Amino acid sequence: MSNTDVSKAQKVHVIFDLDDTLYPERDHAHSGFRAAGRHAETAWGVSGLADEMIRRLDEGHLGQVFPMSVAALVPDHSDTHIAEVRAAYRDHDPEITLFDDGRWALEHYGAIAKLGLITDGNAGVQARKIGALDIAHHFAAKVLTGELGPDRAFHKPHPRAYELIEQQIGVAGDHYVYIGDNPAKDFVTPNARGWTSIQIIREKTIHDQNAEVAGGAPRHKIQSLRQLPEILKF
C-alpha cells in the first residue's frame, strides 16, 4: 500500500457503488425490460418488446433503448407509449441478486468497519434495487443522489454525496475507501478528497470500464472484491 493510502492509525470506512459493483446492472435492465414487455402485451397487444430492448442494449444504444424499441414494434406510437414503458421499467420490482463477492464483501467488511453506499439514478429505482437485494442493513449511511436534486444535478462526480458520507459516518482524521466500476465518474471526487479509490473490473458491464477522465483514474484495480484485503490490509 502506498504512503498516500490508509495508515494503520486511521479509522477506515468502506464506501460502495451499487450498479455493477455489488450486483450485475444488466440483470436489472433485463428485469425491467421484461416488465415493460408485459405492459406492452397487456396494454397494446404487442409482443417481443423485451427481446427488442435487450437487443438494442447489447448494440450499445444505452440512452435510446426505449424510443428505438417502441418505434420498431409500434410504428404509429406516440410519446405516451414511450412514457408507459419507461414507467413500467421504473416502477417494477427487480429480479436481481448480489454478485457472490459482493455478498462476501458486505458481510466481511460490515462486521469490522462502517459501510456506506453512494448510488446514482432515479431514487425510487435505486431504492427498489436496495430492497430487492436486501442490503440496507449493511450500511451506516446511504446516499441516493437522485434524492438530492433534479436532473442529475448531484450525480457523481458532484462532491455532495461524498461530503454527506463523511458527515454521517466519520470524524476528522478518518479515512475512506471508495469501490466502484465506472472510471468516467466514480473516482474523480474520491481522489480529490484523498480517499482510496478502487475499481472493480466486471464482465459485461453497462458502462465503459476503460473510460478516461481528468483526475478519474482509480488508485487500484481488482478483479474480485475478495481481493480487497490485499489492498486494505484488513
Cα pseudo-dihedral 127, 27, 83, 44, rounded to 10? -130
Is 67 contained in some domain?
Answer: yes
Tell me: do 74 and 102 sit in the same domain.
Answer: no
Confidence of residue 8 (pLDDT cuts 50, 70, 90): low
| Grid coordinates belonging to 232 | 486494505
Distance CA 96, CA 134 (A): 10
State the chain's mean pLDDT as an integer.
Answer: 95
Interatomic CA distance for residues 32 and 217, integer angstroms: 31
Within-domain flag for 4: no
Among candidate residues 91, 124, 143, the one where a domain is terminated: 91
Domain ends where: 91, 115, 135?
91
187's grid cell = 473516482
- pLDDT reported for residue 9: 52
* pLDDT tens per residue across span 22-51: 999 999 999 999 999 999 999 999 999 999
Q: What is the pLDDT of residue 62?
A: 87
Domain contains 39: yes
Region for 12 from its dihedrals, namely left if φ exceeds 0, alpha if ψ lies in -120 to 50, beta otherwise = beta
**E strands of the chain, at which residues?**
12-16, 114-119, 141-144, 175-180, 196-200, 220-222
Exposed, middle or buried, 221 (CB in 10 Å: 0-12/13-18/19+)? Answer: middle
Judge whether 3 lies within some domain: no
Q: Please state whether the peptide bond connecting residue 157 to the residue before it is cis, i.e. omega within 30 degrees of 0.
A: yes
Q: Is residue 5 part of a domain?
A: no
For residues 18 and 119, the answer to whether their CB atoms sit within 8 Å is: yes
pLDDT at residue 46, rounded to an integer = 97
- What pLDDT is recorded for position 141? 98
CA distance 108 to 209: 26
Answer yes or no: do 107 and 165 share one domain. yes
71 in the same domain as 150 = no
Q: By residue range, what is the domain housing residue 45?
A: 26-91
Q: What pLDDT does 3 receive? A: 43
Q: How far apart are CA 128 and CA 130, in angstroms?
A: 5
Which of residues 39, 69, 91 is at a domain's end? 91
Domain membership flag for residue 192? yes
CB half-sphere exposure, 93, CA atoms < 13 A: 3
- For residue 1, being part of any structural domain is answered with no
- Whether 117 and 211 share a structural domain: yes
What pLDDT score does 1 carry?
41
| Residue position matching grid coordinates 458491464 | 205
> Do 3 and 196 form a contact (C-beta atoms < 8 A)?
no
For 142-195, what is each residue's pLDDT tens digit? Answer: 999 999 999 899 999 999 999 999 999 999 899 999 999 999 999 999 999 999
Rounded to 5°, angle at Cα 37 from 33 and 42 = 150
**CATH number, position 178:** 3.40.50.1000
DSSP three-state, residue 58: helix
Question: What are the backbone angles phi and psi of residue 141, rounded to the nearest 5°?
Answer: -150, 140
Q: What confidence score (pLDDT) does residue 100 get?
A: 98
Least confident of 32-41, 56-65, 112-121, 125-134: 56-65
Q: Are residues 85 and 102 in the same domain?
A: no
Same domain, 148 and 165: yes
Residues 84 and 107 in one domain: no
Number of domain units in the chain? 2
Same domain as 105, residue 85: no
Domain identity same for 186 and 106: yes
**pLDDT at 172 (0 to 100):** 87
Over residues 58-71, the pLDDT tens digits come to 998 988 999 999 99
- 80 and 130 together in one domain: no
Does 166 reside within a domain?
yes
Helices (H), 76-203: 79-91, 100-110, 123-133, 160-169, 188-192
Looking at the chain, the whole-number percentage of residues with pLDDT higher than 90 is: 91
Query: In terms of domains, do 104 and 207 share one?
Result: yes
- Do 118 and 158 fall within a single domain? yes
β-pair partners for 144: 119
